[in-house]
Amino acid sequence: MNTVEIKIDSKKGKISKELHGHFIEFLGSCIYDGIWVGEESKIPNYNGLRKDVVDALKRLQPPVIRWPGGCYADTYHWRNGIGPGNERPVTYNENFGTYELDSNQFGTHEFIRLCELTGARPWLNINMMTSGTEEMREWMEYCNREDETSLAKERKQNGAEKPFGVELWGIGNEVWAGGGCMTPESYANEYRKYASAFPNFISLENGGKPKTEMKRIASGPDGNKPKERVEWTKQFFQELGKFRRPPLDGYDLHFYNWNLENLEQKETEFDERDWDLVIKGCLELDEVIQEQAALIREGIEALPEEEGFFKTPKPDCDLIIGEWGNWHGAAFSNRPALYQQCTMRDAITTALTLDILHKNCESVKMACVAQTVNVLNSLFLTEGETCILTPNYDVFNMYKVHREGLGLETVGETSDKTFIFASEKEEGIFVNLINADMEKDQEIVIAFSDDVQYVSGQILESEDPHDCNTKEEPDKIREKTGRAPSRRENDFAVRLPKASIQVMHFVRK
């Protein structure tokens, strides 16, 4: 058996809870039916937000939710989604094959309410392509202004006495494609304008400091194109370095685990080769994060020092993975648009991706799974009055224990289909063990650099890796109490069932 030592006193950075973020968009049935059913619906709801999804999402304690897109943000006008529901305009949603009327019943107030009910920070993505800086500023003022301006009064008239305090603002979305087919140079020029147009909400009562520190998040590259993503990041920072530069707080890269070899193959139908290709595909994100983090550091370091007394400091810019997840070819033809069933294969890659984010916690600070409900790598699937929690939901729930923990160094060899991650915080040491082999059980020995004892464990597994949760069998795959490892003299022997995910809890003696 392979032996891996966990070095308890060798810390590797703090794991931001915002690595477990979510993304929702007006795409397919993500919003309508998935999150919003309306107050008159027979489906239990909180003022139109479906209760089963909200309650289950709240249990996950989502740290951040990103909305309205995604591609939808490129044509979304926020004023369509405020005011009395029966007075909101009906528009048409052409987003990514949705092709449906849009009632605009889910808007800014409804999104903020979702965030309040679940405890998430809101991340709003502005419309950069079919809008302008004035519309952006007005949305920001509507959301965040405390003073009695006309927009602040309008927000109050619409039911929100206090400002929303939205800190996270995305400036454009995938501007290299549907967001405008821009070049790094043209986007940098637009970014300068939009980033400079931010209102500051300075409060004299607050010592001349803004009560809401708004963060500017730039649209990063297409993470799935190795050459383009390198050149995009290099050129963006080079352009930003010309003359006076605007503030920059985050850089939003998107990475999908494409499974497009056979577009006719259903996401629940695969052999071992298909399985291995998808597992291998998600592992590429590790390289992408390290590459892009280095390019951001180099880009910032290369920025010239400014002249004069009023110098703009070099930015403290975080790498963000604003969209990630499996994208199977069948999703293109599924209805509603991009609806995708999630099997144990998706659970395994979700766990592997989260562990990649954990291991790179010093380089990436926020990430959002795409998407939370009914689209691609979802945690929820809704069918009428039924809400199904996919195996991905269980992965997020099991992995909550790592939030704000310190990553631990692991030393030793594992098989090429066995993966380990460990972190520590006050409650103890938490160890993730993933067997990404579709057919074979594995065994591993875990040693610790200090004396520890096993407390408890959870496991997610299924007899058949093709299994998924359905309306007929909503709990076919659910996390359950794991098997205790075999204590040997100075280490622990663990059996890893095929296609399984385990989280074990240890404490120092």
Cβ pair 104, 91 in contact under 8 A: yes
Cβ pair 299, 234 in contact under 8 A: yes
3-state secondary structure of 327: strand
Which residue's structure tokens are 């659970």? Answer: 347
Return the H-helix or E-strand segment holding 352: helix 344-359
The C-alpha atoms of residue 36 and residue 40 are separated, in whole angstroms, by: 11
> What is the 8-class DSSP label of residue 104?
-
96-126 in b/e form (b: 16+ CB < 10 A) is bbbebebbbbbbbbbbbbbbebbebbbbbbb
> What is the 8-class DSSP label of residue 117?
H
DSSP codes joined into one string, 49-83:
EEHHHHHHHHHH--SEEEES-SGGGGG--GGGGSS
The C-alpha atoms of residue 18 and residue 16 are separated, in whole angstroms, by: 5
The C-alpha atoms of residue 202 and residue 189 are separated, in whole angstroms, by: 26
- HSE (CB half, 13 Å, CA atoms) of 462? 21
Residues marked active site are found at 174, 323
Cβ pair 211, 205 in contact under 8 A: no
CA angle 199, 203, 206 (to 5 degrees): 140
The C-alpha atoms of residue 140 and residue 166 are separated, in whole angstroms, by: 8
